[in-house]
Structure 1
Amino acid sequence: MTDTPSPNHFDLHAATWDADPVKQARALAVGKGIQSQVPLSPRMGALEYGCGTGLLSFALQPQLGHITLADSSEGMLAVLNDKIAAKRITNMRASKLDLLTDPLPPERYELIYSLMTLHHIRDTDALLRSLHALLTPSGYLCVADLDAEDGSFHGQGFDGHNGFDRRDLAAKVESAGFRTPGFTTVFSMTKGEGSAQTAYPVFLMVAQK
């Protein structure tokens, strides 16, 4: 949810974002995937990059220490702050951040994760290098995103990535300094009806610094 082709898209949809049951189910599935592959602990400081309304972080919040939720959409962050206040959560903080244009923040994290964010980032190599720098030694990076698709997920006019080939992304991640990542399929979305229905798998990539 950073470096998007339409900067106001996420602001416009922020208020109704959580009403989509698919987004809710996707976040819970990715959260379970992270819980099964990363030794979460209340001692871990975490960063969610491209957090939106924080659906994934709310799924992980009880098992983590302090969580910084970063996004470039002011609309999403406003909804997120309302949710944090309403639930009286004390270990989550929203932050406006775009790692491709803003200075690297001073904090370092044991865990960084993102959900459906990377395919919006044009310069994935630069972002991966920044995320590597923000992790503590042996810290974990968890990226959930679309497998490579034919462009029909977003449709015409989208200038991000049409998902990712897992081998190509693994090479980028290793080039950024991470150890060899692992991939699992944690969710699948469908669009269209009948014979025109298309499945869009979502992978979870886990890499360690």
Structure 2
Amino acid sequence: MSQNEFTMKAKEWDSNPERRRIADEFAAAVEKTVDFTADSKVLDFGCGTGMVGLRFGKSVKTLYALDTSDAMLGMLRAKLSDEDFGNVQVLAVPLHEAGIPENSLDVIFTSMAMHHVEDLPEVLMLMGRLLKSGGKLVVGELLPEDGSFHGDNVVPYNGFKPDDLATMVEKAGFSTVSHHEHGIYNKPDKEGVVRQYGTFVLVGEK
């Protein structure tokens, strides 16, 4: 999806009930997988408006909220100005420009962002370097779909076969990788017909 598309959608992003449900369910999966502590440093990769990440802000030492959409981050910053979400550092740059020290993160989580990443193997390698030994990567993503999920917009990946993404994660240096199907994302296609798209959660441990 282009930056223009994200700009157009940013203001109504949080008002979509299906999107809120998906965020709630992925956040629950993260909580089930990760034991956050007051010393945890975590990254919400492709954070958007912070629908997932901000709920963990007060449970950790530092929450890095990274996205390259200025419009989405504008909505996130508005939330931060209205409410205390803890130590949230907003990063409006690609991951390789974020300046996060290697071996410093306890957790990286990301929801519905990986299929937008063109240089995914390289990004996964960098994530592996940023995580501490024993750190976890938690990914919420689409199962393979026919391209209709994004309508006329072209994205690098029309979902993933979980085993294929697991192989990519393993090649990036993660020693333990597991995944499971997670539910259904209901979304209208470009003709307005609501279609069902399968999702999964993948967990990698460094």
Query: By how many angstroms is 1:170 displaced?
Result: 0.7
- Counterpart residue identity of residue 168, structure 2: K
More divergent stretch after superposition (17-26 vs 154-163)? 154-163
Count of matched residue pairs: 202
Q: Which runs of 5+ in 1 are unaligned?
A: none
| Distance of 1:157 and 1:56 partners within structure 2 | 24
CA shift digits 1:156-175 (9 cap, x unpaired) = 34132100001111110000
Q: If the length of structure 2 is used for normalisation, what is the TM-score?
A: 0.90
Tell me the TM-score normalised to structure 1 length: 0.89
Identify the match of residue 53 of structure 1 among 15, 27, 49. Answer: 49
Mapping for residues 68-83 of structure 1, pairs under 5 Å: 68-83=64-79
Alpha-carbon distance in 2 for matches of 1:175, 1:35: 26
Match of 2:196 among 182, 196, 199: 199
Summarize the alignment of residues 105-184 of structure 1 with structure 2, pairs less than 5 Å apart. Answer: 105-106=100-101, 108-184=104-180
Superposition deviation, residue 197 in structure 1: 5.1
- Note the C-alpha offset of 1:78: 1.3
Q: Cα RMSD over matched residues?
A: 1.9
Q: Residue 70 of structure 1 contacts residue 96 of structure 1 at CA under 8 Å; is this kept in 2? A: yes
Q: 2:58–2:87: 8 Å Cα contact kept in structure 1? A: no
TM-aligned CA distance change 1:72 to 1:197, over 3 Å: closer
Q: Is the 8 A contact 1:183 1:205 kept in 2?
A: yes
5+ residue gaps, structure 2: none
AA of the residue aligned to 1:205: L
* Mapped partners of 1:187, 1:17: distance in 2: 20
User: SS in structure 2 opposite 1:60?
Assistant: helix
Instruction: Indicate conservation of the 8 Å contact 1:50/1:117, yes or no.
Output: yes
The aligned amino acid for 2:127 is L
- Map Cα deviations across residues 50-70 of structure 1 (whole Å, 9 max, x no partner): 100000012333433310101
Instruction: Compute the displacement of 1:186 (Å).
Output: 2.8
Further displaced range: 29-38 or 91-100 = 91-100
> Any idea what the Cα deviations from partners look like across 1:160-195, whole Å, max 9, x if unmatched?
2100001111110000000231112333112359xx
Task: Write the letter of the residue equivalent to 1:75.
Answer: A
Contact 2:54/2:85 (CA < 8 Å) preserved in 1? no
Deviation at 1:75, TM superposition (A): 1.1
CA distance in 1, matches of 2:187, 2:120: 26
In 2, Cα distance between equivalents of 1:200 and 1:138: 32
